[in-house]
Amino acid sequence: MINEDSKFPGKHHSDKGKWIGPWMPQWRDPGDKGAFTTLRQLYGDIQDASQALKAKRDALKKTGEFTPAGITGKLKQVARAETIPAIRTAAAEQVRRFRREVESRRAAMKPFDHDPKDIVSEMRRQEVRAWLRTLKPDQRTEAVRRASDPLIKEAALSVPVELTGLLPSTRDDLTRELIEARYGDEIAALNELDAAVSTVERAVDGARDDVREALGMIEHDFNAEFRDVEDEIDRLAELRASKPQPKIDFDTIVSTVVAMNYDTQAELLEKIQNENKRADHRAYMDGLAKLAGKAG
């Protein structure tokens, strides 16, 4: 599927009309690795998973060997064992990881650095706050908003709003203004990442809706039938995310790898990548084995 607005796979809407959005050309990494590269791959893979189920449905119909109920039964087996796990795993692990990254980076943005040990600066801020309290409310707001010296705004933000006499909305505006001035480029880049993550999140919802449509199920019945699979995938994803990482002697590993020739290094890297993929699949496929058996 190629949409007119983007050279990357994807579509604007799910088959039920749910808005997904195209993958935008500016969402790309400088090289061939990075957040946008991973998200772009997820964007395509998630939609491909639902398309594969519909292709399976069409193929079963063409054979003429199955009743509508028989086709639905076989599709439910595929959905339980393959399609739902593919879509849900992407949502439970990869997309959630990028969503948390966006939220944590935004939460880490501060309007200014406040060093409690800097007594001189704190005394100056106290003087500013004392001066602000002598002004009428409208004058106080105007003085802070139009201040050319950032110290005045810092003084108003470094204590609870009740101590400044400013409205909470004014404080919020000041905070946003200082953060934008301080992190302008990073905010712009983060907004692009946020938009890409949101698009993939919508792709998850749209693909899930397409699967439900392919099975001819109403939302209530679909949720009831596949909730156990999705809950188990979520549980396993949380376990993997919280699993403590073993301590590694990096110096020894690096010295060993450096001593290898180029071909051996490349072979080792390929084996590590393949083993990581197998380990990820084993982790949730083992947990889904019993659930997948219910489709029979």
User: Region 176-189: what's the mean pLDDT?
Assistant: 91
Given this model, what pLDDT does residue 285 score? Answer: 59
Counting residues of the chain whose pLDDT is more than 90, the rounded percentage is 38
Separation of alpha carbons 117 and 152, rounded Å = 19
d(CA 159, CA 150): 15
Q: Is the pLDDT of residue 13 over 50?
A: yes
pTM: 0.69
β-sheet bridge partners, residue 13 = 19
Buried b (16+ CB within 10 A) or exposed e, 264-289: eeeeeeeeeeeeeeeeeeebbeebbe
Predicted confidence band of residue 167 (pLDDT cuts 50, 70, 90): confident
Domain ranges across the chain: 35-108+186-293, 119-182
> Distance between CA atoms of 58 and 71, rounded to whole angstroms?
9
Q: pLDDT of 102-135, one tens digit each? A: 999 999 999 888 776 788 888 888 888 888 888 8
Q: Tell the residue number behind the tokens 């699993």, with chain if given.
A: 243
SS3 178: helix
Calpha distance 153→171 (Å, rounded): 9
Backbone angles phi, psi at 19, to 5 degrees: -65, 130
